[in-house]
Amino acid sequence: MKIAFFDTKNYDIESFDSYIKERNIEVKYFEPKLNIDTVELAKGFDGVCVFVNDYLNKDVINRLYELGIKAIFLRCAGFNNVDLTAAFGKIHVYRVPAYSPYAVAEHAMALYLTSNRRIHKAYNRVKEYNFSLSGLAGNDLYGKTVGVIGTGKIGRIFINICRGFGMKVIAYDLFPIKDSDIEYVSLEELFKQSDIISLHCPLTPETTHIINKDSIALMKKGVAIINTSRGGLINSEDLLQGIKDRKIGTVCLDVYEEESDVFFEDKSGHIMNDETLLQLIAMPNVIITSHQAFLTKEALNNIADTTTRNIVDFFSDKLLSDTEVCYHCGNQANCKRERKAKCF
């Protein structure tokens, strides 16, 4: 079990080290992200462990296969960065379906509360002994309508948090939960009725740019948009225009369409080239964190536990686990899950 870890940060090493020793896995930590330029680093390993901004397209998958890589272990929930169709029949793909949905849902609300009540501005003022309240007025959350897109693990926790504030919750999901107490509406109605919109669906061809100039046109003036899911859900240019048009009142982002070269890295002292990101950061009603919604001690621990368990299970030839993903999974007729065999 020799695993090449890509895009490794110090907090990954801290959380993984004890599990790796305990479960007898041989690991080499690499700082670079896995992509076509770095794929040769995987030579001599049995598997690769990757994160959200490693880019495993068809070419990378095919080269990994030639190098003898048997499995890809994602240490995250989303898998939009892996070409599953290219991987099927060659390399097995595992993920960590849930490590702390609470971490992400709580961060989404933390971003909104910070922005709405101007906590970030107040903090800086008081540090400089400026106790003025001017410009710090926010809005009550009580009685406001929040529209939640995606009512999976994170979306449902976010809904409960909102209900705690006395907000009215409406939701849209491609697969609504049957017999639940969630009020589902069409996507169009959600855009029209919501004071706050929070995205909790995966990035798929259908959800790419679900927030765009047409959907923004349907929204209330002053709407708040929260995105802790994936950057590609929002057309960033259209978002920026919506802010400039004074249509969008608040933007809270933990993810960004073009985040892969910037987020998770210290870019202070660098000249940034992404004009859209620069303008978004400069806006007074935009708050951005660098894909940190998952970052709690509990989540890091669960990620390390499940990922190393996936590695051990795969190489000890256990049957298909719930943590394996393949593009067949939506297709019950052909899916081997039902027969409890490995995917291929």
Binding site for ligand NAI (CB under 6 A): 77-78, 98, 101, 104, 149-155, 172-175, 200-204, 206-207, 228-230, 254-255, 291, 293-294
From CA 105, how far away is CA 292, in angstroms rounded?
Answer: 12
Residue 189 a catalytic site member: no
Structure tokens at 135: 């410009």
- Tell me the CA distances in angstroms from 185 to 147, 171, 178, one per residue in order: 9, 6, 14
Residues in the chain: 344
Q: Find the shortest distance in angstroms from Cβ 2 to ligand NAI.
A: 28
CB of 179 to ligand NAI, least distance (A): 15
Provide the pairing of β-strand 145-149 with 71-74: unpaired
Q: Does residue 259 have an active-site annotation?
A: yes
Cβ neighbours of residue 245 closer than 8 Å, sequence gap 6 or more: none
Please give the structure tokens belonging to residue 313.
Answer: 């299970």
Find how far residue 223's CA is from the centre of its chain: 22
Nearest residue to 342 (alpha-carbon basis) of 216, 164, 328: 328
Considering the complex, state which of residue 181 and residue 317 has its C-beta at the smaller distance from ligand NAI: 181
Whose CB is nearest to ligand NAI? 152
Q: One of 259, 275, 309, 337 is an active-site residue; which one?
A: 259
Ranges assigned E (strand) in 150-227:
168-172, 196-199, 223-227
Least distance in Å: CB of 244 to ligand NAI?
Answer: 26
Q: Which is nearer to ligand NAI, 269 or 330 (CB)?
A: 330
Tokens of 237: 């240019």
Catalytic residue among 75, 200, 209, 230: 230
User: Considering beta carbons, is residue 128 or 206 the nearer one to ligand NAI?
Assistant: 206
Q: Which of 291, 298, 328, 338 is catalytic?
A: 291
User: What minimum distance in Å lies between the beta carbon of 258 and ligand NAI?
Assistant: 16
Q: What is the distance between the alpha carbons of residues 327 and 281, in angstroms, rounded to a whole number?
A: 36
Least Cβ distance, residue 198 to ligand NAI (angstroms): 11
AA identity, residue 107? H
Question: At residue 145, what is the residue type?
Answer: T
Q: Which is nearer to ligand NAI, 206 or 317 (CB)?
A: 206
291 labelled catalytic: yes
Question: For ligand NAI, which is the closer residue by CB, 240 or 255?
Answer: 255
Active-site residues, by number, are 230, 259, 291
